Amino acid sequence: MDEIWKNRRATYQKMLLKYLRYVFNDHFVIALLFLFGAFGLTYSNFLKSLQGDQNLWWAKPTALLILLLSLHLNHLATLLKEPDRVFLLPQEAAMPAYIKKSLTHSQTVMFIVQAVIYLLLTPFLLFAAKLSVVNVGCLLVVQLLLVLVLSNHQAVSLFVPAYRQAGYRGLVVWLMPAVILALGVYLPAYLAVILAVAAVIWQNQHDKVSMKGRLFDWRFALDHEQSRTTRLFRFFNLFTDVKSVTPKPKRRRYLDRFLPKASQKPAGIFTYMYWRAFIRSGQYSSLYLRLTALGMLILFFIPNFWLALIIAALFLYMLGFQLLPLFVVYDEVVFMHTYPIDSQKKFLAFAKVLFSLLLLSALLFVIPLAIQLHDPLKVMAAGALLLLESGFLARIYSKGRLKKIS
């Protein structure tokens, strides 16, 4: 079982490196630099705006909520596969040792994630929530101890069905961490450290009693791992094609009223087909909605005109770049190769659809700009520049990129 875990872990890490090369491509790295720069500038300006004696009633509840939610970002990675329920069944007695290795690996990742989040949250805790340096340090210890509690609960739940009941989960996974973190935020944090240590000790003793005579729940463990990997692959699928993720088209009859009428002219037929593919495909429509919503959300927190304009233009470029594969969505249909098709009219129809989508996003990006800037001239200038970029991406940039795709 030790050799199986080592091989699974090596294969999993190799897979992650494979897809992360596509995630952190040149375009996304540039976007991240601008996004982190915008976040850092806004965060810094917010902290500077806080007065030394200002009592922010919402700061501590906000910190408590962020700490509590961040505990649930990571999940136990067992790396189990569907055939294991048959081929590893004779090794069921060795499954606790296998899960222990996966738990150690998962906890290492969880500790790193929690440390990064806490590092970003520390200035807020010091200047907004008005916590002392000692309390901030104690809260970090509490957070890491609670990670142990939640990760151990996930591991034991693979053997003990009672751990998966809503009442027990609500008590151990949500209520207990919330109470301990609340003590650390509102009272001297060493009290929370004591309670967190007690919770870890109590859980270890309780788990030993609960695990006696328990068999490994293969179905639940496989479903849990499948759910985790599906979420991961869906994220990778935003940047490249993932074989294990096959988006299912949906009818979405309620959107038919927004489709253009099918025309007998080639350009009209392709326009209808591209709109139909965009609406029915969860791959393109979901990506478009997520990037547009994320761009609007970020722009709401950027008061600087030039930085906001760069971020809006960058998101518009990302949208145009990610929607380019829509051009070849019908190329695997045999009739596309048997009927005479004017490639120029096909491109014009695609450019029209792409420009409409980019124009809609540009107009939505102008809304947070108008709210933040309060300057009609700057807002109109930003709208005009985003309009020009939409036309450039749809008609000129896409033509060169599509030659490489097709």
Question: Is 240 part of any domain?
Answer: no
Question: Is 380 part of any domain?
Answer: yes
Asked which of 235, 267, 288 is the last residue of a domain, the reply is 235
Q: How far apart are CA 159 and CA 209, in angstroms?
A: 12
- Give me the pLDDT at residue 371, please: 85
Question: Is 248 part of any domain?
Answer: no
Q: Are residues 144 and 29 in the same domain?
A: yes
Q: Are residues 293 and 195 in the same domain?
A: no
Q: Are residues 271 and 317 in the same domain?
A: yes
- Give me the pLDDT at residue 401, please: 78
What are the phi and psi torsion angles at 36 (to 5°)?
-70, -35
Q: Are residues 281 and 381 in the same domain?
A: yes
CA torsion, ordered 15, 19, 21, 27, to nearest 10 deg = -170
Q: How far apart are CA 125 and CA 132, in angstroms?
A: 8
Q: Are residues 48 and 86 in the same domain?
A: yes
Q: How many domains does the chain have?
A: 2
Question: Is 242 part of any domain?
Answer: no
**Residue with structure tokens 């004591």?**
194
Q: Are residues 115 and 177 in the same domain?
A: yes
Cα Dmax for the chain: 77
Q: Are residues 218 and 263 in the same domain?
A: no
Question: Is 241 part of any domain?
Answer: no
Question: Is 71 part of any domain?
Answer: yes
Q: Collect all residues with Cβ–Cβ distance below 8 Å to 306 and sequence separation of at least 6.
A: none
Asked which of 208, 235, 262 is the last residue of a domain, the reply is 235
Stated as kind and residue range, the H or E segment containing 145 is: helix 133-156
- Give me the pLDDT at residue 122, please: 93
Q: Are residues 52 and 145 in the same domain?
A: yes
Residue 293 sits at the vertex; the CA angle it makes with 290 and 299, to the nearest 5 degrees, is 135
Look up the domain containing 215 and give its range. Answer: 2-235
Per-residue pLDDT in tens (0 to 9) along the chain, 406 residues: 888 899 999 998 998 888 888 777 666 677 677 777 777 777 887 788 776 666 778 889 999 999 999 998 888 999 998 888 888 888 888 899 999 999 999 999 999 999 999 999 999 998 888 899 999 999 999 999 999 999 999 999 999 998 888 888 899 899 999 999 999 999 888 999 999 999 999 999 998 898 888 889 999 999 999 889 888 887 777 666 676 665 555 555 555 555 666 555 555 577 778 888 787 776 777 778 888 888 888 888 777 788 888 888 888 988 888 888 888 777 666 556 566 566 677 788 888 889 999 999 999 999 988 887 778 888 899 899 999 999 998 888 888 777 766 5
Asked which of 235, 265, 282 is the last residue of a domain, the reply is 235
CA-nearest of 221, 244, 213, 214 to 85 is 221
Q: Buried (b) or exposed (e) across 317-353, using 16+ Cβ within 10 A? A: bbbbbbbbebbebeeeeeeeeeeeeeeebbbbbbbbb
Q: Are residues 284 and 199 in the same domain?
A: no
